[in-house]
Amino acid sequence: MFKYFQALIVIFLAVGCASSKGREGQKKLTATAAAKPSAKELSKPKATLEEKKQPTKDRPDSAVVTLIKKYKSESPVSVKIRKRVQSPYLTKEKVSSGVLKLDKDLFRLDLEKPDASTMVLDGKNIWVETRLDPAMGGEVQVSKFALDDTRRANAVFAVLFDGENGLEGFELKKINQPSVELKEFIYQPKKEAVDYKTVAITISKKGDVLKSFSYEDELENKVIYDFGTTTFKAKIKRWELEYTPPKGVKPSEF
């Protein structure tokens, strides 16, 4: 499981009708009709109906939801990333740096050595490219994961920015304030069949940028993505976020 977890983390989503007679029956029908969404309401996007059920401003984590929406509405977005891996199986913390690029439905994370890798989410698949150190042969391996519900849940960092609300699969457990400038939101996945037990999202006190994103599995393996310089409405071309395997490399499909 750890290998599968590692591959995914290398790289921010579920009436009845009856007829009646008489005055009481008419009241029931009227009440039922009032409770059902109108044709106009049904024609609205799903997200709009969901927001009516639970307005963003009424959520304890409304600042996080609003901020994630900002990363989509003000795309393309470019973020300098530092990835840290902590594990009982490592003698010391592994640190890699790179760049995260977002543009609406596209997500691309490129990291440099020691864990040189690329993760791309294109709405249908998750691509994971890993590159061994040249001293170890420099082999390139590519994995292609169909983006079904299970893998969507496990590739949580990428999927956080996918769809209308990447947090819909999580339950807020706690809010911390590690410093006067930061707020941390701790979540647990609603699904049991995932490779991690907690997710933490830290934002600036003003709520204008993400500061870090981390998750931890049952074996105490923890991955932290620290967000550095963030540029909204960056000059990024769509093709820069797309992915094609290197020539001569056949992807392993899962």
State the pLDDT at residue 147: 74
Q: Is residue 51 part of a domain?
A: no
127 and 142 Cβ atoms separated by less than 8 Å: yes
More reliable by pLDDT, 131 or 123: 131
What is the tens place of the pLDDT at every residue in 197-216?
899 999 999 999 999 999 99
State the pLDDT at residue 14: 27
Q: Which two tokens stand for residue 89?
A: 């199986």
Q: In 3D, which of 196, 199, 136 has the Cα closest to residue 166?
A: 199
Res. 67: pLDDT tops 50: yes
Q: In 3D, which of 227, 220, 226 has the Cα closest to residue 90?
A: 220
**What is the chain's length?**
254
**Per-residue pLDDT averaged across 1-10, rounded?**
36
More reliable by pLDDT, 87 or 131: 87
CATH number of the domain residue 144 falls in: 2.50.20.10
Range of the domain at 140: 2-13+60-253
Q: Is residue 43 part of a domain?
A: no
Q: Is residue 25 part of a domain?
A: no
**Per-residue pLDDT averaged across 155-161, rounded?**
66
Q: Is residue 64 part of a domain?
A: yes
Res. 47: pLDDT tops 50: no
More reliable by pLDDT, 201 or 254: 201
Q: Is residue 32 part of a domain?
A: no
Q: Give how many domains the chain has, as a whole number.
A: 1
- Between CA 72 and CA 232 the distance in angstroms is 9
- 101 pLDDT band, cuts 50/70/90, is very high
From residue 150, alpha-carbon distances to 27, 29, 99, 155 in Å are 44, 40, 26, 9
State the pLDDT at residue 165: 60
Q: Is residue 7 part of a domain?
A: yes
State the pLDDT at residue 105: 76
- Between CA 226 and CA 16 the distance in angstroms is 49
- 6 pLDDT band, cuts 50/70/90, is very low
**Per-residue pLDDT averaged across 111-120, rounded?**
87
More reliable by pLDDT, 125 or 82: 82
Res. 10: pLDDT tops 60: no
Q: In 3D, which of 189, 104, 114 has the Cα closest to residue 155?
A: 189
Q: Is residue 34 part of a domain?
A: no
Strands (E), the chain: 77-86, 94-103, 106-111, 117-121, 125-131, 140-146, 170-179, 182-189, 198-204, 210-216, 222-232, 252-253
Q: Is residue 26 part of a domain?
A: no
Q: Provide DSSP, 76-112.
A: SEEEEEEEEEE-TTSSS-EEEEEEEEEETTEEEEEE-
Q: What percent of the chain has pLDDT over 70?
A: 68
113 and 96 Cβ atoms separated by less than 8 Å: yes
More reliable by pLDDT, 210 or 44: 210
More reliable by pLDDT, 210 or 153: 210
71 and 98 Cβ atoms separated by less than 8 Å: no
